[in-house]
Structure 1
Amino acid sequence: MKLLAFAASNSTKSINKALATYAACLSDEKVEVLDLNDYEMPIYSSDRENESGIPQLAKDFFDKIGQADAIIISFAEHNGSYSAAFKNVFDWVSRFERNLYQNKPMLLLASSPGPGGAKNVLDSAVTSAPYFAGEVKGSLSVPNFFDVFDMDTGKMTDQALNKSLVNLVDKLIR
């Protein structure tokens, strides 16, 4: 099995990338971690699409999802919603293929430094994924990230959250 993991963020110090990577590595499966910075495209507009077509990077991103057996995404929350980086990739890809997630099983995560745990964006992602052919197997919000995750070791330090995450990863790959 091949797991594809990425953060829905373009931050070079993304806590969500750390979380997605950690979650994917809880399995013994082959893991590929994507960086949204490798898929930076002009801001989507119908004018750009009509003038230039769909960027190759959008097609490449879609192909990466197609090559995976399961997907782990950890969402950053910007003003209660998706990050602009993720939304732009999503907008471009969904223009040529509405079924962006290609019926892949998914684990959706979100985290923030504060007590909200990016719950708003996670709820939106969980609700919308099935409309784009995503099979959500589980989700987890991780609040107070720096209190429950050690960035130096790249590991969850909160045992209850870690157990929940291990169980969700197991559910994803079974």
Structure 2
Amino acid sequence: MAQILAFAGSNSSKSINYELVKYTASLIKDHEVQLLNMVNFPFPMFSEDYERENGYSNSLVELKEDLVKADGVIISVNEHNSGPSAYFKNLTDWLSRVERKFLEDTPVFLMATSNGKRGGMGALEITQNVLPRFGAEVVASFSLPSFGETFNKGEGIVSADLAKAHREALNQFLGKL
């Protein structure tokens, strides 16, 4: 049984990416999934001055340790102005300072969603190129466009084609664990 860490790249209390991660985690039956709501992980904006004066918070070190221990990671990144959110960028900045390769040899299922037709593709593409710098192996990716139309909290992904593509990407990720 593998240990999977799942979270969204958003710290919004109404994050649709967190809804997608939560739904994805609910589909996994043969592994242990630790689902994190990043609302509970506030971090100051990274700066070398702040780091020098204050060091690393316990929650940052614990998150890094959870990432290092995980056999696989599921992340759904949100998009702001065609790129990952400042929160997610800040999170990776902090994590990389604690340990540069905080995702060393870790299979990652990378997702994104938005209410637009591109489904967060800008943030997904950027993140897919950046995570390997931290040691990640992005095994599968999935974009869910038009979240308000294609996702229902009670049912999950309501489009049969998108649900199938999501399940195939998830199975590809699970096959690497």
Equivalent residue number for residue 93 of structure 2? 91
- Give the TM-score taking structure 1 as reference length: 0.94
* Structure 1 residues 154 and 92: CA distance shift in structure 2, 3 A: farther
- When the two chains are superposed, the root-mean-square deviation of aligned CA atoms in Å is 1.2
Contact (CA 8 Å) 1:93, 1:100: kept in 2 or not? Answer: yes
CA drift of 1:74 comes to 0.4
- Give the TM-score taking structure 2 as reference length: 0.93
Equivalent residue number for residue 16 of structure 1? 17
2:40 paired with 1:38: yes
Residue by residue, what CA displacement relative to the aligned partner does 1:38-66 show, whole Å, maximum 9, x if unpaired? 22121110101111112222211111112
Residue by residue, what CA displacement relative to the aligned partner does 1:77-115 show, whole Å, maximum 9, x if unpaired? 011112122222211111121112132101100000011
Q: Secondary structure at the match of 1:54?
A: coil
Equivalent position to 2:116, from 109, 114, 117 = 114
Q: Secondary structure at the match of 2:140?
A: strand
Equivalent residue number for residue 72 of structure 1? 74
Equivalent residue number for residue 101 of structure 1? 103
Equivalent residue number for residue 51 of structure 1? 53
Counterpart CA distance in 2 for 1:40 and 1:154 is 30
Counterpart CA distance in 2 for 1:48 and 1:133 is 25
Contact (CA 8 Å) 1:103, 1:134: kept in 2 or not? Answer: yes
Q: Which structure 1 segments of 5+ residues have no match? A: none
List 4+ stretches of structure 1 deviating above 6 A. none
Contact (CA 8 Å) 2:4, 2:72: kept in 1 or not? Answer: yes
Contact (CA 8 Å) 2:64, 2:98: kept in 1 or not? Answer: no
The letter of the residue matching 2:124 is L
CA drift of 1:154 comes to 5.1
Deviates more, 1:84-93 or 1:12-21: 84-93
Equivalent residue number for residue 161 of structure 1? 162
CA drift of 1:24 comes to 2.1
Contact (CA 8 Å) 1:2, 1:31: kept in 2 or not? Answer: yes
CA drift of 1:67 comes to 2.5
Contact (CA 8 Å) 1:3, 1:31: kept in 2 or not? Answer: yes
Aligned-pair identity in percent equals: 35
Contact (CA 8 Å) 2:9, 2:17: kept in 1 or not? Answer: yes
Q: How many residues align?
A: 173
